[in-house]
Structure formats: C-alpha cells, structure tokens
C-alpha cells in the first residue's frame, strides 16, 4: 500500500474477467471521455476507471497503460486515512480529480474481478467504431457520482450485514466461466484519418477503461480491513504465496502451487 495507508488484512487478489474486458472494449472504441452507464452484469454491479491522454511520440502501449494505472494509484496520496474505515464519496473538483475514487475502486477488498481495454483514437475526428448509440454527455461535475455504487439505505444495511460474510466460496476452477475474447489483445486502434500532404497528422488520444466487480465505493463501508496482511482472508481464499504476496487468492489458484 502507499505510504500513509494502513496494510490490508482482507484484500483480495484481482482476476482477469473476459466479460468485463469485452464491455470495456466496446466502450473504449467509442472514444468518449465519460463513464459507461450500462456496465453492470447479471453477476454483479461494476465500477469503471477511466484515463484519457494524448499519445506522445514513440511512447509504447505498455507505457500508456502504466501511466493510466499510475494516475489511478496516485489517488491513495489524497485519500484521507479515515476513509479506509468508512468510505465517503467526494467530488472531482480537487487537484487530484477523480483519482481517489478510482484508487478505492481497485483497492476495495471484496472486489476480485477486473477487465480492461484501450483504444487509440484521433483527436479531431472520432475514428473508433461506434458500437452503441451516443448519449448526451453529462456535466464534468457529475463524474464523481459515476463511480459510486448505487443502493438505497435499506440495501446498504443489508449489504453491511453481509459484507464480512463467511459463506463458503466455490473452488477456483469454477469461477472462470466467462467467454474468452476472440481478440488477442485488449488494446485497439482506431482507423487513422487519411493523411493529406497539406495537413498535419492528426493527434492520437488513448482511451483506457478498466471495469471492476463486484463494485465497491459504497458510502459508509470500509475500503478494506486494516491489519496485518492476509490476517483475515475471506472464506474460500488463502494468503497468496506466489507473485501477489499479501493478497488473498482463491483456493486452488494455480499460481500458488509449488
């Protein structure tokens, strides 16, 4: 965790989800600087992180993704430590923008599925395929609420009751039921405008989106349980002994087999 934030006792390891990837891909290809409003699945509600930035000359796709993740993680530096115990939504008008919300979406202890995609689009003219009908963009000031889990007070009470549930998890091999994407890479390029000798080459902009589920960022709930790492892993998980030490991985995770 970032310096100043307490270690997590129950933070789960994130596993790639092909359905979430496909949803992120469809939205990224529209080249719109806003959250997808229709991102929930039949399995769970979904939160979405967004990064839009111009592509510098000779920059690699890996660097673009690293910069996006770095921006989201920077939210840990502006997140008040007391919010770890009880999350509170805030607007995006501060110097850190929405990064605090995007950080907490990824750090939410009970979130364990992730799927991302990236599209490279021209700045002057949308060159990515439009898969859905365009909606009227919302005001920038409303972007903070787009990455919060919607629920009524009674639903929050029920969720709070079940939040630390010890219900037995299914074995690892039963979770990867989503259909694998037929495309090899979650990074996609729009059709660049035809170059004109009398015109400058259009500026390229990278649109990166990551979907997370089950969704966190629930008002009044802890982002995670502070304590020694892996000291209170949820039922059906164990402390990871592989690459992702300090996180709670599913029982049967092949990365944990020696």
Smallest CA-to-CA distance from 216 within 104, 50, 103 is with 104
Per-residue pLDDT, 257: 72
Q: What is the pLDDT of residue 171?
A: 47
Taking the CA atoms of 93, 94, 96 and 101 in sequence, report the sign of the dihedral they define.
Answer: negative
How do residues 104-144 score in pLDDT, each as one tens digit? 999 999 999 999 999 999 866 555 543 333 344 444 334 44
Q: Which residues of 199-214 are buried (b: 16+ CB within 10 A; e: fewer)?
A: eeebebbbbbbbbbbb
pLDDT tens per residue across span 61-70 = 889 999 999 9
CATH number for position 232: 3.40.33.10
- Is 98 within a domain? yes
**4 within domain boundaries:** no
Q: Supply the range of the domain harboring residue 138.
A: 15-256
CB 84 within 8 A of CB 226: yes
Average pLDDT on 219-246 reads: 92
For 154-187, write each residue's pLDDT tens digit.
Answer: 444 344 334 333 444 444 444 445 445 445 555 5
**Residue 1, in any domain of the structure:** no
Q: Please tell me the chain's helix, strand, coil percentages from 3-state DSSP, rounded to the nearest 5.
A: 25, 15, 60
Number of domains in the chain: 1
> Does residue 6 sit within a domain?
no
Q: What confidence tens digit (pLDDT) does each residue in 193-218 have?
A: 344 444 555 588 999 999 999 999 99
Q: Is residue 199 part of a domain?
A: yes
Q: Residue 113 is encoded by which pair of tokens?
A: 């599925």
The reply to whether 5 falls in a domain is no
144 located within any domain: yes
Percent of the chain with pLDDT over 70: 64
Q: Quote the CA–CA distance of 221 and 162 in Å, as a whole number.
A: 11
Question: Is residue 238 assigned to a domain?
Answer: yes
């Amino acid at each position: 965790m970032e310096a100043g934030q307490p270690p997590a006792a129950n933070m789960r390891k994130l596993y790639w989800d092909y359905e979430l990837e496909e949803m992120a891909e469809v939205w990224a290809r529209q080249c719109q600087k806003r959250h997808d409003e229709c991102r929930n699945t039949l399995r769970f509600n979904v939160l979405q992180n967004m990064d839009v930035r111009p592509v510098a000359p000779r920059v690699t796709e890996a660097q673009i993704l690293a910069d996006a993740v770095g921006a989201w993680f920077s939210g840990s530096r502006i997140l008040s430590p007391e919010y770890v115990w009880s999350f509170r939504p805030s607007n995006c008008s501060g110097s850190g923008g929405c990064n605090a919300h995007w950080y907490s979406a990824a750090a939410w202890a009970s979130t364990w599925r992730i799927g991302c995609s990236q599209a490279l689009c021209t700045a002057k003219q949308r060159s990515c395929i439009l898969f859905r009908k365009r909606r009227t963009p919302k005001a920038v000031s409303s972007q903070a609420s787009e990455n919060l889990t919607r629920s009524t007070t009674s639903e929050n009470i029920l969720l709070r009751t079940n939040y630390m549930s010890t219900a037995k998890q299914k074995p690892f091999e039963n979770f990867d039921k989503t259909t694998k994407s037929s495309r090899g890479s979650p990074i996609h390029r729009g059709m660049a405008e035809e170059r004109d000798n009398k015109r400058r080459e259009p500026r390229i902009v990278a649109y990166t989106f990551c979907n997370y589920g089950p969704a966190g960022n629930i008002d009044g709930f802890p982002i995670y349980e502070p304590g020694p790492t892996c000291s209170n892993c949820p039922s059906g998980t164990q402390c990871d002994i592989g690459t992702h030490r300090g996180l709670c991985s599913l029982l049967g995770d092949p990365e944990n087999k020696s």
